[in-house]
Amino acid sequence: MGDRVSGRTIVAALLTVLAVSTMVGCDVLRRPRRVPADLIPVFQAAAAAYGGGLTPVQLAAQARVESKFNPRAVSHAGAQGIMQFLPSTWQEVGLDGNHDGRADPMDPQDAIPSAARYEARLASLVSGLPGDRISLILAAYNAGPDTVRAAGGIPDIGETRHYVAKVHSWAGTYAGQL
Protein backbone atom coordinates (compact mmCIF):
# COMPACT_ATOMS: atom_id res chain seq x y z
CA MET A 1 0.00 0.00 0.00
CA GLY A 2 2.93 2.33 0.66
CA ASP A 3 3.99 1.98 -2.97
CA ARG A 4 0.55 3.03 -4.21
CA VAL A 5 0.54 6.08 -1.96
CA SER A 6 3.99 7.17 -3.09
CA GLY A 7 3.00 6.51 -6.70
CA ARG A 8 -0.08 8.69 -6.27
CA THR A 9 2.03 11.33 -4.60
CA ILE A 10 4.45 11.36 -7.52
CA VAL A 11 1.61 11.62 -10.03
CA ALA A 12 0.02 14.44 -8.04
CA ALA A 13 3.34 16.28 -7.86
CA LEU A 14 3.90 15.93 -11.60
CA LEU A 15 0.38 17.17 -12.34
CA THR A 16 0.96 20.16 -10.06
CA VAL A 17 4.23 21.02 -11.83
CA LEU A 18 2.52 20.68 -15.21
CA ALA A 19 -0.41 22.86 -14.13
CA VAL A 20 1.82 25.58 -12.68
CA SER A 21 4.14 25.56 -15.69
CA THR A 22 1.17 25.87 -18.03
CA MET A 23 -0.15 28.85 -16.07
CA VAL A 24 3.20 30.66 -16.34
CA GLY A 25 3.54 29.90 -20.05
CA CYS A 26 6.19 27.21 -19.94
CA ASP A 27 6.15 23.86 -21.69
CA VAL A 28 7.83 21.56 -19.13
CA LEU A 29 8.68 18.93 -21.69
CA ARG A 30 10.07 21.38 -24.23
CA ARG A 31 11.09 24.99 -23.71
CA PRO A 32 9.58 28.21 -22.47
CA ARG A 33 6.95 29.75 -24.69
CA ARG A 34 9.24 32.58 -25.74
CA VAL A 35 11.24 33.31 -28.85
CA PRO A 36 14.97 32.94 -28.10
CA ALA A 37 16.26 36.47 -27.50
CA ASP A 38 19.22 36.08 -29.86
CA LEU A 39 16.87 35.27 -32.75
CA ILE A 40 14.50 38.23 -32.31
CA PRO A 41 16.69 40.66 -34.32
CA VAL A 42 17.16 38.01 -37.02
CA PHE A 43 13.39 37.58 -37.44
CA GLN A 44 12.91 41.36 -37.43
CA ALA A 45 15.65 42.01 -40.02
CA ALA A 46 14.46 39.19 -42.27
CA ALA A 47 10.85 40.39 -42.28
CA ALA A 48 11.98 43.97 -42.95
CA ALA A 49 14.30 42.95 -45.80
CA TYR A 50 11.74 40.75 -47.54
CA GLY A 51 8.42 42.50 -47.04
CA GLY A 52 5.47 40.89 -48.72
CA GLY A 53 5.81 37.67 -46.81
CA LEU A 54 5.42 37.22 -43.08
CA THR A 55 5.88 39.56 -40.12
CA PRO A 56 8.65 38.89 -37.57
CA VAL A 57 6.05 37.35 -35.23
CA GLN A 58 4.77 35.04 -37.95
CA LEU A 59 8.31 34.01 -38.94
CA ALA A 60 9.12 33.19 -35.31
CA ALA A 61 5.91 31.19 -34.98
CA GLN A 62 6.78 29.30 -38.12
CA ALA A 63 10.25 28.47 -36.77
CA ARG A 64 8.63 27.20 -33.57
CA VAL A 65 6.30 24.93 -35.53
CA GLU A 66 8.99 23.80 -37.97
CA SER A 67 11.76 22.96 -35.49
CA LYS A 68 10.99 24.26 -31.99
CA PHE A 69 13.82 26.75 -32.75
CA ASN A 70 16.32 23.91 -33.14
CA PRO A 71 18.90 24.92 -35.77
CA ARG A 72 20.16 21.31 -35.98
CA ALA A 73 16.74 19.73 -36.58
CA VAL A 74 16.48 17.20 -39.41
CA SER A 75 13.11 15.72 -40.32
CA HIS A 76 12.40 12.18 -41.49
CA ALA A 77 11.90 13.68 -44.97
CA GLY A 78 15.36 15.31 -44.88
CA ALA A 79 14.27 18.89 -44.17
CA GLN A 80 17.02 20.75 -42.32
CA GLY A 81 17.50 23.48 -39.79
CA ILE A 82 15.36 25.92 -37.88
CA MET A 83 13.13 26.61 -40.92
CA GLN A 84 13.19 22.99 -42.19
CA PHE A 85 14.30 23.44 -45.77
CA LEU A 86 14.37 20.44 -48.07
CA PRO A 87 17.77 20.29 -49.80
CA SER A 88 16.20 20.97 -53.23
CA THR A 89 14.37 24.05 -51.96
CA TRP A 90 17.47 25.26 -50.13
CA GLN A 91 19.54 24.93 -53.28
CA GLU A 92 17.01 27.15 -55.04
CA VAL A 93 16.43 29.81 -52.33
CA GLY A 94 19.22 29.54 -49.74
CA LEU A 95 21.03 32.76 -48.84
CA ASP A 96 24.26 33.57 -47.06
CA GLY A 97 22.43 35.78 -44.60
CA ASN A 98 25.35 36.36 -42.25
CA HIS A 99 27.84 36.93 -45.11
CA ASP A 100 30.33 34.33 -43.91
CA GLY A 101 30.83 32.96 -47.43
CA ARG A 102 28.55 29.96 -46.92
CA ALA A 103 24.76 29.50 -47.23
CA ASP A 104 23.86 26.92 -44.56
CA PRO A 105 20.30 25.78 -43.77
CA MET A 106 21.51 24.80 -40.29
CA ASP A 107 22.56 28.38 -39.54
CA PRO A 108 19.60 30.51 -38.36
CA GLN A 109 21.36 33.63 -39.67
CA ASP A 110 21.06 32.11 -43.16
CA ALA A 111 17.85 30.09 -42.84
CA ILE A 112 15.56 32.79 -41.43
CA PRO A 113 16.24 35.40 -44.15
CA SER A 114 16.05 32.61 -46.75
CA ALA A 115 12.60 31.67 -45.45
CA ALA A 116 11.46 35.30 -45.48
CA ARG A 117 12.67 35.77 -49.05
CA TYR A 118 11.07 32.50 -50.15
CA GLU A 119 7.77 33.47 -48.54
CA ALA A 120 7.78 36.82 -50.32
CA ARG A 121 8.04 34.81 -53.54
CA LEU A 122 5.31 32.42 -52.39
CA ALA A 123 3.09 35.43 -51.69
CA SER A 124 3.23 36.39 -55.34
CA LEU A 125 2.64 32.80 -56.48
CA VAL A 126 -0.59 32.48 -54.46
CA SER A 127 -1.72 36.11 -54.80
CA GLY A 128 -4.82 35.50 -56.93
CA LEU A 129 -6.27 32.78 -54.74
CA PRO A 130 -9.20 33.25 -52.38
CA GLY A 131 -8.51 33.23 -48.67
CA ASP A 132 -6.29 34.77 -46.07
CA ARG A 133 -2.95 35.78 -47.63
CA ILE A 134 -0.83 34.64 -44.67
CA SER A 135 -2.59 31.27 -44.50
CA LEU A 136 -2.02 30.78 -48.22
CA ILE A 137 1.70 31.59 -47.86
CA LEU A 138 2.03 29.15 -44.97
CA ALA A 139 0.15 26.45 -46.87
CA ALA A 140 2.46 26.98 -49.86
CA TYR A 141 5.52 26.73 -47.60
CA ASN A 142 4.21 23.46 -46.18
CA ALA A 143 2.60 21.76 -49.18
CA GLY A 144 4.25 23.61 -52.06
CA PRO A 145 2.88 26.45 -54.18
CA ASP A 146 1.78 24.14 -56.99
CA THR A 147 -0.37 22.14 -54.58
CA VAL A 148 -1.99 25.31 -53.22
CA ARG A 149 -2.65 26.66 -56.71
CA ALA A 150 -4.06 23.32 -57.90
CA ALA A 151 -6.42 23.29 -54.90
CA GLY A 152 -7.48 26.88 -55.55
CA GLY A 153 -6.51 27.77 -51.97
CA ILE A 154 -5.47 25.89 -48.88
CA PRO A 155 -5.49 22.23 -49.90
CA ASP A 156 -7.62 19.72 -48.05
CA ILE A 157 -4.56 18.08 -46.52
CA GLY A 158 -4.80 17.53 -42.77
CA GLU A 159 -1.10 18.13 -42.15
CA THR A 160 -1.17 21.43 -44.04
CA ARG A 161 -4.34 22.70 -42.36
CA HIS A 162 -2.93 21.74 -38.96
CA TYR A 163 0.38 23.44 -39.80
CA VAL A 164 -1.33 26.71 -40.75
CA ALA A 165 -3.45 26.66 -37.58
CA LYS A 166 -0.41 25.97 -35.37
CA VAL A 167 1.60 28.82 -36.87
CA HIS A 168 -1.31 31.21 -36.33
CA SER A 169 -1.65 29.98 -32.75
CA TRP A 170 2.05 30.45 -31.95
CA ALA A 171 1.96 33.89 -33.59
CA GLY A 172 -0.69 34.82 -31.04
CA THR A 173 1.57 33.56 -28.27
CA TYR A 174 4.53 35.63 -29.50
CA ALA A 175 2.60 38.79 -30.47
CA GLY A 176 3.71 40.74 -27.41
CA GLN A 177 7.33 39.64 -27.61
CA LEU A 178 8.39 40.86 -31.05
Instruction: Report the Cα 16 to chain-centroid distance in Å.
Output: 29
Catalytic residue among 66, 92, 119, 159: 66
Q: How far, in Å, CA of 78 to CA of 88, rounded? A: 10
* DSSP codes of every residue in 3-45: HHHHHHHHHHHHHHHHHHHHHTTB-TTS-BSS--GGGHHHHHH
Decide if 66 is catalytic.
Answer: yes
Amino acid at 34: R
Catalytic sites, residue numbers? 66
